[in-house]
Structure formats: structure tokens, C-alpha cells
Amino acid sequence: AQTVTQSQPEMSVQEAETVTLSCTYDTSENNYYLFWYKQPPSRQMILVIRQEAYKQQNATENRFSVNFQKAAKSFSLKISDSQLGDTAMYFCAFLRGFGNEKLTFGTGTRLTIIP
Amino acid sequence: DVKVTQSSRYLVKRTGEKVFLECVQDMDHENMFWYRQDPGLGLRLIYFSYDVKMKEKGDIPEGYSVSREKKERFSLILESASTNQTSMYLCASSLDFGQGQYFGPGTRLLVL
């Protein structure tokens, strides 16, 4: 079974700074997908970024980028120029590359952006 | 934009009651999911469905059942609510494998 570990339950950073959220996972699969989801306070969970394991290039979406280290089974999220609207719970998730679409989530990191 | 809606944002029920949580998506997605979210545990999959009338158990199906009579609607049923089912329930849907799931706003259920 796959496991996803987010070792930072809470983080805070000053507005405009850069912050990195860590995620490690354990799998014996070679083909899989990784995701970061954002859940703002009292609001809907949204997909931030996705990475396909067979792609070497790290995914980027505007201020959000990942550092995908396949050998180390690490998938960290970097938020540049952080904004107050980035305050949220962030969940890392793993999807096996075949079969059903059953996501395995980490326990989340609560990120607070300080004005 | 994909829209996933859930019938209630907040719900209070008594122990032993039968509880229905409804989820509707408007983008003709094949796959639908029910999760519960608890502090320190992340999201855990209860059930999912990849087609009408098809369902599969997730990681924590005990005490729950589901129904999918129409493609756009996926219902979660608590047959006899218990206090340990007090939680946030999230519905999600997806179209293509590996593209990510779209979530509803969640239903916060309190069982007294």
C-alpha cells in the first residue's frame, strides 16, 4: 500500500516570501501521479498542481512549482511571492498509474501567510 | 468550470438516524468519490463509483453505503449514524484518469 507523509503540520511565512512544503511518499510503483491540493478556510478544495512520474521536468503553475525527486520519493511544493490568499491547508496526494482512481492523501500542512 | 455541489453545508443528526448526503456534478464525469476529512488524518476514501450503479469500497467503508442511480448524482448513506461518524464529508468527481479530482464544498456532519 502507498503512504504519503507530510511532516510539517503547520507553517507560517511573511507575505511576499517563498515557502516550501514537504511531501514524501512510499511506493513500489514506477508509474504514478502526484498532486498538491489547497483547501482555504471554509472553502472548497482545489487542485494546485500535478506531476506525472515519468516526466523529468518539474511542474509549474504560476507562483507554484514542485521539486520532484523520484529516487528520493520526494515531492515538495514551493510557493513564491506568497500572498494572503495562499493561507490554507495543503494536501499532497498520490495516485497509482493504473487501475482505479483511488487517491492517497497526506495529513496536510496548515500554511499561514502573515501580513 | 466544473461544479460539484453537496446538499448541505452543515447537518446535525441523532445517533441511530439514517443520514443521506447528496452530491451532484454538472460535467458528465464518470468517476465520483466520497471522502471523510478528520484533523490529523487527512482525507480518507469511503467509497467511489466509476459508472452508474457501479461502486467500490474505499479504505473505510464500514458503516456507510452509497447509491449512484444517475451519472451526475452520488449519494452517501449512513445507515445508523454514530458519534464517531461526526466529520467533514467531501464529495469529488473526475473525468480522465490522472487529471485530478474536483471537490465539492463539503458537509460538516455532527452526530449527537
Q: Distance of alpha carbon B56 from its chain centroid, rounded?
A: 13
Residues 6+ apart with CB under 8 A from A38: A45, A46, A48, A86, A88, A89, A90, A91
Quick check: helix, strand or coil at residue B60?
coil
As a whole number of angstroms, the longest Cα–Cα distance in chain B is 39
Interface of B with A (CB under 8 A): 31, 33, 40-45, 48, 50, 56, 58, 90, 92, 94, 97-106
8 Å CB contact of B98 and A46: no
Among chain B residues, the shortest Cα distance to A40 is held by: B105
8 Å CB contact of A101 and B103: no
Quick check: helix, strand or coil at residue B103?
strand
Q: What separation in angstroms does the CA of B14 have from each of A43, B17, B35, B58? A: 26, 6, 21, 25
Cell of B95: 473525468
Among chain B residues, the shortest Cα distance to A98 is held by: B97
8 Å CB contact of A105 and B58: no
Reported as a pLDDT band with limits 50, 70 and 90, residue B1 is low
pLDDT value of position A99: 75
- The percent of residues in chain A predicted with pLDDT above 70, rounded, is 100
Cell of B13: 443528526
CA torsion B1→B7→B9→B14, rounded to 10°? -160
User: Quick check: A27 pLDDT over 70?
Assistant: yes
pLDDT value of position A46: 94
Q: Which residues sit opposite B34 in a β-bridge?
A: B47, B91
Instruction: Return mean pLDDT, chain B.
Output: 93
